[in-house]
Amino acid sequence: MSFVDALRSRVRFGKFVSVGVVGAVCYATVLVTLTQAGVLPEIATLVGIETAVLVMFAVNESWTFAEHGAGDGRSLLGRLARSHGVRAAGSLTQFVVFVAIFRGASVTVLLAGLNLWLLVAKGGGIAVGMLVNYVFESLFTWQVHLDES
C-alpha cells in the first residue's frame, strides 16, 4: 500500500479529527485558565499543547489506531516517544502560526471579559498543525501503510 493510500481512510481521519477536538478542548481549557491566572499566552500555549498531546495519544492509541502496532509495553513506549517527536513538529507549526496570528494582528475580541482573539489565533495554529500531525502520526508513529496490504 502506498503512503497516500494509507492516508485516505475517511474513518481513521474522522477519528483523528474527533480526537483532535478533544485535544483542542483540553488545550483551550489549560490556555484560558493559565492566561487568566496571569501566565503569558506563549507559556500557557506550550503547557496546553503538552496536556493535549498526552490526552490525544492515549485516545488515538486505544481508538483511532487500535488495530496498529504491537501491544507490549516497550512498543507502546516507542510509539509514545515517536508520537512526541511527531507532535513536536506539529506543535512547533501550531505555535508559530498561533504567534504569527496573535501577535501579528493584535485584535481584541472581548466576550465576558475574555479576549477571544487568543482562541481565534489558536484555531489557525491547530488547523495547520493537525494536518502535519495526521500525516506523520499515521505514517511514522503507527505506520498504517505497513499494516494495510
The predicted pLDDT at position 2 comes to 75
C-alpha to C-alpha distance for 108 and 120, rounded to whole angstroms: 11
Number of H-type helices and E-type strands within the chain: 6, 2
Distances, alpha carbon 36 to alpha carbons 12, 15, 29, in Å:
36, 32, 11
CA dihedral 28, 31, 36, 38 (to 10 degrees): 180
Q: What is the pTM for the complete model shown?
A: 0.73
The mean pLDDT value for 32-57 works out to 93
Residue 120 has pLDDT above 70, yes or no: yes
Listing DSSP states for 106-134 in one string gives ----EETTEETHHHHHHHHHHHHHHHHHH
Residue 109 has pLDDT above 80, yes or no: yes
The residue with greater pLDDT, 4 or 85, is 85
Residue 129 has pLDDT above 70, yes or no: yes
pLDDT band at 145; cut points 50, 70, 90:
confident
Cβ 52 vs Cβ 7: under 8 Å: no
